[in-house]
Amino acid sequence: MSADQLILVPRISTLPDPATRGRALLNWLAKQEIVAALPSTCGLGGNGMAYAIGPGARGVVRHPERLPYGEAVNGLEIIDKRCIYTPTADFLEEAGCPECRREIGEALFDSLEEWFPARTDNFICPECGHEDDINGFLFLQPCAFSNLGFIFNGWADAVFTEALLTAFADRLGFALAVVRVQR
Within 8 A by CB and 6+ apart from 89, the residues are 181, 182, 183
What pTM was estimated for this model as a whole? 0.94
Q: Which residues of 126-150 are buried (b: 16+ CB within 10 A; e: fewer)?
A: eeeebeebbbbbebeebbbbbbbbb
Residue-level pLDDT, tens digit, the chain, 183 residues: 457 999 999 999 999 999 999 999 999 999 999 999 999 999 998 889 999 999 999 999 999 999 999 999 999 999 999 999 998 778 888 999 999 999 999 999 999 999 999 999 999 999 999 999 999 999 989 999 999 999 999 999 999 999 999 999 999 999 999 999 986
**Domain spans, the chain:** 5-81+145-181, 95-139
Contact 41, 48 (CB under 8 A): yes
